[in-house]
Each structure stands twice: as C-alpha cells, then as structure tokens.
Amino acid sequence: MAKEIKILIVDDDPDYVEGIQSTLINAGYAVDAAYNPKAGFEALESKKYDLLLLDIMMGRGAEGVMMARKINKDPVLREIPVLIITGIREQMAFLFPGQPVHPRFLPTDELLEKPVDPDLLLEKVSHLLELAEEKKTNE
C-alpha cells in the first residue's frame, strides 16, 4: 500500500473546511484542519505534511499572506507545496472592485479562487504533489 498522503487545511470557515475535507478524504487523502494561523503552525510542527491548503482572510486581516511568507522563510517548511484557496476578491470587493488577485507578493505555488470546483481542486492537488515528488527525486 502506498504511503498515506497528508494534507493540512488552514481556513477560518468551518463549513467550507467541512466540504473540502470530504472531497479530499473521498479521494484517499488524510486531511487535518486548523482554523487559525497559530493552530496551523502548531500542526505543521507536530507532523510532516505533504501539502498545505491556505486561506487568506483570517483573524485580524489577510493573515494567510503572513503565514505563506513565514513558511517560505523556514528552511524545512518551505519544502511543503502551498495551494492558496481564497475568497479575497469577493471579501474585499468593495475596496478593489473587479480587481484580480495578483500573486506577485504571494510566495506560493498555486492559487484558486472560491468557490472551487471539486474536480479542479483534486487536479491541482495531485499536480502539486507530483511536482513536489519530482523535485525531491531530482535532488
């Protein structure tokens, strides 16, 4: 049997987490959830994850950006591929109407905007995991 693939979701919306978690579990992944960045970092320290799904608007504000940057600075954690899944364009629509998320300042591998189609999610997840696997074998 293949090694179990572990995914961590850090997102403050419990209903959203529930939905995405069941999609991923049905596809055979082991999924943990943390509902704020602090709990997210605790989870990352407690065991090794193969992929991180990260929300942006959490806590005091866009703390997902803070978290992604902190992970990218950590020599160990930066090896984990990060997929940002965010509703920020909707959440901040009054401020930047119709304007796109631009990933220039986001040290992350991929970005999806909510609502996310389950098939697209699974496709992105397996693609990121493959890339990470390739990178590892090339080293």
Partner 1 sequence: MALKPSFSDEISNLLYAAHGNPINACIQCGTCSGTCPVANYMDQTPRRLIGMINADLKEDVLDCNTYWFCASCYHCTVRCPADIDIAGVMYAVKRYSIWNKTYSEDLVGPKFSEAFVKTIVRTGRSYEPILAPTYMFHFGPKDFFHEAVTASKMMLKGRIPVLPPRIKRLENFKNMIRKIIPLGESS
Partner 2 sequence: MKKYAYFPGCSLEKMASSYHKSALETTEVFDIELQELDDWNCCGATTYFHVDAILAHTLVARNLAMAEKEGLDLVAPCSACYKNAYFTNDYIKNDPDLKEHINFALEEDDLQFNAEIEVFHLIDIFANDVGPDLIKEKVNNPLKGLIIAPYYGCQIVRPRKNGEEVENPQFFEDIISAMGAEPAYFPERLRCCGGSLIMTNRVAALNMVRILLQSAEKNGAHVIATACPLCQVNLECYQEQVNEEFGTDFKLPILYFTQLLGLALGISPKKLGIGIELVSATPVFSKLLPKEAN
Residues near partner 2 (CB under 8 A):
57, 60-63, 65-66, 69-70, 92, 95
Q: Least distance to partner 1 from the beta carbon of 33, Å?
A: 6
41-65 residues labelled b (16+ CB within 10 A) or e (exposed): bebbeeeebbbbbbbbbbeeebbbb
Q: Least distance to partner 2 from the beta carbon of 17, Å?
A: 22
Q: Which two tokens stand for residue 9?
A: 């979701």
Selection from 55, 54, 52, 56 nearest residue 29 by Cα: 52
For residues 1 and 95, which CB has a smaller minimum distance to partner 2 in the complex? 95
Site membership for partner 1, residue 38 (CB under 8 A): yes
Q: Least distance to partner 1 from the beta carbon of 48, Å?
A: 16
Selection from 80, 57, 70 nearest residue 132 by Cα: 80
8, 52 contact by CB (below 8 A): yes
For residues 21 and 64, which CB has a smaller minimum distance to partner 2 in the complex? 64
Site membership for partner 1, residue 79 (CB under 8 A): no
Task: Give me the residues that bind partner 1 (CB under 8 A), please.
Answer: 12, 14, 17-18, 32-39, 56-62, 65, 88-92, 94-96, 99-106
